[in-house]
Amino acid sequence: MTSRAFTIGRTSSYDASIANDPDDVWKAEGGWIFKTLADAEGFLQRNQGKTFDDGGFTLDASFSIYGLELVDAWEDYVGDDPPNAERVYRLIRPAQIVKL
């Protein structure tokens, strides 16, 4: 049984990849993962215009929220590390990206 988590990505890149091959688009290890859609939406709203040093990008209107299909337990994707203050976890294994 699969469950869903959420991530944020640059809309033009993610949409192009999904359009090209919707069954083979993966979020790499180290990427952001949110447990709920509300957590992802809140993060995106609160951080508009903020520049992130770990990726060298500014979060703006060119980013969207996407689903992540989890085929195993949540803990298998985030490990034992707690989320940061913004409720962002780090992905420790690849997960398939889906358009919401």
DSSP per residue, 16-85: HHHHH-TTS-EEPTT-EEBSSHHHHHHHHHHTTT-EETTTTEE--TTEEEEEEEESS-HHHHHTTPPP-T
pLDDT band at 1 (very low <50, low <70, confident <90, very high): low
What are the tens digits of pLDDT across the range 51-90?
887 767 888 999 999 999 999 999 999 988 888 888 899 9
Strand order in 63-70's β-sheet? 3-10, 63-70, 95-98, 26-27
Rounded to two decimals, what is the model's pTM?
Answer: 0.89
Listed by start position, the domains of the chain span: 3-32+56-98
Q: What is the pLDDT, as a whole number, of residue 13?
A: 92
